[in-house]
Each structure stands twice: as C-alpha cells, then as structure tokens.
Structure 1
C-alpha cells in the first residue's frame, strides 16, 4: 500500500471520529437523557455528542444563530416561547421549526432530613412556596421556620413548578444562591428545616426526604429549525427509541 493511500485512509478515519453533533441542552435533558447515553451512543454510532449547557431561551438563541443543530429543554413549547419573549429574542413561527418529545420529566419536592412530613398537598405547597406559610408547625411539622431554597439556574423547572402549583404567581422569599458546585438537592440536605424542588433525576443524594405531593410533570423537547433532521440527528432520535436508549434514560 503506497504512502498516499495510507494518508487518505488515515484522514478518513480522523474525519469519521471527528463527526460532531452539537446540541444546546438544559439541566433536565442533560440529567435525564444526554449525559446517560453519551458514551454508549458515541460507541454505537461513531458520532461525538457535543453538549452545550444552555437554559431554554439561550438554547433557542444558539439554535437560531446556527451554532447548534438542535436545542433541548424540559418544558412545554408554550413555556419555552414565553421564556424566549422574556429575553426579547426572536420568536420562531411554527412553520420554521420541528419539535420532538424525547421524554417526560417529574419534578420532585425535597426537604432536609429533619423535616419528617410524609405528604404535602397542593394547598400546603402553595402556602410554603408563596411565602404565606412560614413555619413547619402550620403544616403539621416541628415548630421551626421554613427555609425556602430555589435554584435560579433551573429556569424551566422553576417556571413549570410556578405554573402547576402556584398558578404562575411569584415565589415567596427564598435563598437563591449556593456555594459554587453545590446543587439544590445538596443545599437542601445541608440546610436545617429547608425545602426545595428539582428534577427527579437530579436527586442522587440519599440525605433528603421526598414527601408525596401532587404530580408535577413536563415534557422534554428537542427542537430543530426546518422540517427534516440531519442524518446524525436522525440516528440520535432512533437511538433514543431503541431498547438500549430507553433503558439508559429517565423518561
């Protein structure tokens, strides 16, 4: 085999390995789906997943600018459009995009280990998260102030919870910041008499309590511009529907 042919084969192999599928994904699709399938999908297809961390409005901006091939978020399309408008971004028409539902996520309320309530109803959650209920004694718990923790980075999750539990009303007074690298679930675990919520898939800690609450669910969407996914994206969608893909993901 001559040197020229060897170089051509080597170049082709490099190109094959370098095939990238660039996606803008929020917290929920990353935790529920893409982080879980990245290694096995790449091994099965030779396609390298490049995941850009972006909340729903920023994910659309990146897609609209042509910087990613698809955007994914854990929220309804109506809520996604509302977040786009809130950031004064260009709102896409229905004709220029295609949406795929690639999962369903559950949002779970979590409390610190010293809050021993087994169940919180809708009215109790409304009181706590609106700030009207300020002491655990008011909902059958200890005589201690309620510490409300919220994560400003989980935009879609917060909007979904407000819509389904508070009817869109604002949250009450809460602590919105944590030390760098600390998740909301970890913050709740470490803060006495605290409460918060997060995607169920993110609750890896065994040091929090999860009371029974009304179901809070939302779709996980993947959005593209145009009507036909690329060959690489089509392989991703097919993989997610395969037995292996379904087994690995939280949907």
Structure 2
C-alpha cells in the first residue's frame, strides 16, 4: 500500500512539474506592438502575418492611429515600432532609428464619371485652397468641386500639403476630412464632383486616378521619381533594436519581405 502511495505521489509530481513547464512555454512568446499610419497599417499587417508563419515564438500586433501617433508611440516607447507615411521633421527624429521600407505614391482620385484626366500641381493647389471652385475652370464638366481630405495627424495629409500646398497655402477649411484612405475613396466614389488623395498602395478601380503634370502614378514612375507626389513608408524604433525586434526588422529588409512589399505595391526607389 505504501509503495502504491509513493508511486501515486511521484506520478502527480511529474504531472504538476510538466504542467508548469508547459504553461511557462505558452507565455514565452514575445509580443511586438506596431502603431501608427493607417496607410502603412495594411502593409505592416501583411508583413507581420508572413513573418509569424515561420516564427511561432513571436506575436505581432498592428494598430493604426495616424503617423503622428506612430511617431509619438515610438518616441515614448509605448510601441516597439511606430509607423509613418511622411518624412520626419528634425525635432521628431531625436532618439529614433528610421527604416524606409519603400515609397508610396499619393494618387489624386476623382469620381469615375469625371472627364478630367490630368491636372498640374498648381491647379491642384488652387483647387484644394478654394481658388478654383468649379470643374469647368480646369476643362471639366460644370459642377461645384467638393474637396475630400484627411484628418490632422495623417501622414498622407502632411505629405500632400508639403508637396502640393507648400508652406503658405492651406487646404480650404470646409473640405470634408476623412480618417483613412478607404473613407476618402468611399466619399469620392459616391460623389461625382468630389476630389481627394489616396495611397497608391490601396488604390482601386472604384475611383479614377488622374495624372499630375502629364505623369500618371505607376510603380515605374514612383520608382524613378518622375511622379512627384510620393512619400516614404517608415518603421521607427526608439534607440537600437535588439532580440526578436531586431530579427523582425532585419527580416523586413530581406528578399522574402520584398516579395510581400511588391505584392502590396510598395515601391523600391531606383533614382
């Protein structure tokens, strides 16, 4: 009887120790949090999904919030990686390591029924500032132009303002501000007189892209720089990455990750 009890105790001990070991294994996965640009978000999600397929020891969470949120989250360490779809200002760069994962075009989108096919940067500036208010002023149909823009803190907005509007000209105050590329596309899709700007990476045929200064947005024209409306997609890390975070960042710069970026229409510059 005593021997039976001893065997039972030993068996129970083995199960308990094994259970503790198993549970500790469940909790050993490292989590990487990525926060920021809603334009970069779908690309980051695809990169994370692909990486996790061969790296079961890491969980990568991706959230939006805007480029400003991404920069601040990287600066204060609340995110392992902040994402931005705009170049950083000098005062934003302090303490951060930047990784440019590729270039994205900013596409000028109009409704599919709009007959306009090309606008100059100066015309775009005049349209979005409210100086030009009717499509017939730029060779289009008679109709009041409805402006669709992005919310404050958007990297797409910041890049558009920098490239098109310049330092001294503001987008008209009554322009409809949307929180994402998808929301801009929906607004333009539903309004024949609307115009907005969206990410090339997420452009679809439910709205119409137009050329700027005679140059159409494409992988080739973004890569060689001939299409001027473009901006970087950035991963931002506080200090120097180590451990699993460094391994993921290194992988993002690999040929395997480049296949993902190509599929997502993120362009590697050739100029």
TM-score interval, normalised by the smaller of the two chains: 0.7 to 0.9
Q: How does 1:169-248 map to 2 (within 5 A)?
A: 169-177=169-177, 183-204=183-204, 206-213=205-212, 214-226=227-239, 228-248=240-260
State the partner residue of 2:111. Answer: 112
- Higher strand proportion, which one? 2
Deviation string 1:38-91 (CA, Å, 9 cap, x unpaired) is: 22211222211112323233223333333211211011112xx5xxxxxxxxx5
Give the Cα–Cα distance (whole angstroms) in 1 for the partners of residues 118 and 236 of structure 2.
36
Q: Could you say which residue in structure 2 is the equivalent of 1:11? A: 23
- Local SS of the residue matching 2:70: helix
- C-alpha distance in structure 2 between counterparts of 1:93 and 1:145, whole Å: 41
Match of 1:183, SS state, is: helix
Shift of 1:93: 6.5
Counterpart position of 2:142: 143
Unaligned runs of 5+ in 2: 1-10, 213-226, 267-271
The TM-score normalised by the length of structure 2 is: 0.78
CA distance in 2 between counterparts of 1:99 and 1:193 reads 39
Aligned equivalent of 1:27: 38
Q: Radius of gyration: which is bigger?
A: 2
Give 1:231 deviation, angstroms.
Answer: 1.6
1:28 match: secondary structure: coil
Q: How does 1:24-173 map to 2 (within 5 A)?
A: 24-31=35-42, 33-46=43-56, 47-78=58-89, 91=91, 94=94, 96-152=95-151, 155-168=154-167, 169-173=169-173
Partners of 2:69 and 2:153 within 8 A in 1: no
Q: Give the deviation of 1:154 after TM superposition.
A: 6.1
CA deviation after TM superposition for structure 1 residue 111, in Å: 0.0
Return closer, same or farther for 1:97/1:38 CA change in 2, 3 Å cut-off. Answer: closer
Residues 181, 58 of structure 1: alpha-carbon distance in 2 compared, 3 angstrom cutoff: closer
Distance 1:236 1:19, change over 3 A: same
Instruction: Indicate conservation of the 8 Å contact 2:74/2:96, yes or no.
Output: no
Distance in 2 between residues matched to 1:180 and 1:158, nearest whole Å: 10
Flag the 1:106–1:144 CA change in 2: closer, same or farther, 3 A: same
Q: Distance in 2 between matches of 1:113 and 1:93?
A: 40
Structure 1 residues 130 and 187 mapped into 2: Cα distance closer, same or farther (>3 Å)? Answer: same
Partner of 1:86 in structure 2? Answer: none
TM-score, scaled to structure 1: 0.83
Q: What's the counterpart of residue 87 of structure 1?
A: none
Decide whether aligned partners of structure 1 residues 181 and 148 sit closer, same or farther in structure 2, where only a CA change above 3 A counts: closer
Gaps of 5+ in 1: 82-90
SS at match of 1:212: strand
Residue 163 of structure 1, CA deviation: 1.0
